Amino acid sequence: MEVERAHGLTTGRVTTAEALAARWTARSADVDLVRVVDPAPSDWARLARAGFAVKPAWITWLSPTCGSEEEFLSRLSVNERRNVRLGSRFTSENGIELRTTDPLDPESFDAFLVLYDRQIAGMRYGVPFARQQREDILDLGGDYFLVRAVDGGALLGCCVCWKRPELSTVQIRFVTTAEDSRRNRLVRAMYMQVFQAARELGFGTVSLGTDPALYGHIAKPGLFGAKSRLGFTPIPARMFASDDEPDEAVRVLRLSALTDPSLLISYHLPADHAEPVDEKTPLRLDVLTAGQEVDTSPYRASFLAEVGVRRVGHG
């Protein structure tokens, strides 16, 4: 077993044979989870019987741009439509201006990074991906635009958006807000501005970014619910962009480095499944918890074939 440690999480990377041969417990393995990278479809059923979930490494969230904001809102629940409209009212009543900066320029991006760095610093396992990729993003400035929320001369929030004409998609890569802003309302208002920019570009979809298919480490469980309520649907990231990581089989052994609950998104497969998956393969969600009672209702969504519960230890 090859042991990897990253951002507080200890992972045991094993072969399919190793995964099937061992009796996995957090104490005996001394890892948070065990991973088989790119297992053969012919082995998926046996891995599932051994307690592994076959899953995409990453998921990308997509929504159609729709012909208008009203058409987009008609896809949402009554409560979520109300929340989006409250966001628009909040910016209007408080004199907050939503500005689109296209193409992205160094000064505007660096102003975004000031807010972004503060936000990442407050996270338990925050990774400053935007800061790490600054030079690459600036080199491709013409492929990016910003939606900025500005109050006078103060930047309150910003979305960094990547134009992907080959996919007819605007991809929201990074989002941040100032600590003292009403984050949820401001973010929804900025999202609506991104959708309008995507319509003006003639693009068919907006992506709300790419997340690990395990919520509870870098990405928190609440993010899953927020994106699904806004009408976005996840697909395996490798089916959206060919350079993403392959599928994997994962078994979580303990939650010491994860939240309780955590969420695991995997393929919903029949017991005898042995074929490659595609974008139409249904997904399931498992709530990982060490507790006896868990409410799964916050995590249910129309795109999920099933929602289950898996009991794991704290280590």
Q: Do 21 and 74 share a structural domain?
A: no
Q: Is residue 140 part of a domain?
A: yes
Domain boundary residue among 157, 184, 203?
A: 203
Q: Is residue 36 part of a domain?
A: yes
Phi, psi for residue 44 in degrees, rounded to 5: -60, -40
Q: Is residue 228 part of a domain?
A: no
CB under 8 A, 24+ apart: contacts of 306-310:
306/268, 308/284, 310/252, 310/264, 310/286
Region 11-15 average pLDDT: 96
Task: Look at residue 301 and tell me whether its pLDDT is greater than 80.
Answer: yes
Predicted local distance difference test score (pLDDT) of residue 33: 95
- List pLDDT tens digits, range 263-286: 999 999 988 887 888 888 999 999
- Give the model's confidence band at 184: pLDDT under 50 very low, under 70 low, under 90 confident, else very high: confident
Q: How many CB atoms lie within 10 A of CB 159?
A: 26
pTM of the model: 0.92
Predicted local distance difference test score (pLDDT) of residue 125: 82
Predicted local distance difference test score (pLDDT) of residue 181: 57
Average pLDDT along the chain: 93
Q: Do 192 and 105 share a structural domain?
A: yes
CB 234 within 8 A of CB 284: no
Q: Is residue 223 part of a domain?
A: no
- Bridge partner residues of 206 (DSSP): 63, 170
Q: Do 97 and 39 share a structural domain?
A: no
Predicted local distance difference test score (pLDDT) of residue 2: 93
Region 184-207 average pLDDT: 96
**Sheet arrangement for strand 53-55:** 2-6, 9-13, 33-37, 248-252, 53-55
Q: Do 187 and 85 share a structural domain?
A: yes
Tokens of 118: 């503060």
- List pLDDT tens digits, range 161-170: 999 999 999 9
Task: Look at residue 310 and tell me whether its pLDDT is greater than 90.
Answer: yes
Q: Is residue 294 part of a domain?
A: yes
Q: Do 266 and 248 share a structural domain?
A: yes
Predicted local distance difference test score (pLDDT) of residue 280: 87
Residue numbers of the domain that contains 103: 66-203
Q: Do 79 and 175 share a structural domain?
A: yes
**Sheet arrangement for strand 283-289:** 214-215, 262-267, 283-289, 304-311
Q: For residue 84, give the CATH number of its domain.
A: 3.40.630.30
Q: Do 75 and 190 share a structural domain?
A: yes
Predicted local distance difference test score (pLDDT) of residue 243: 67
Q: Is residue 153 part of a domain?
A: yes
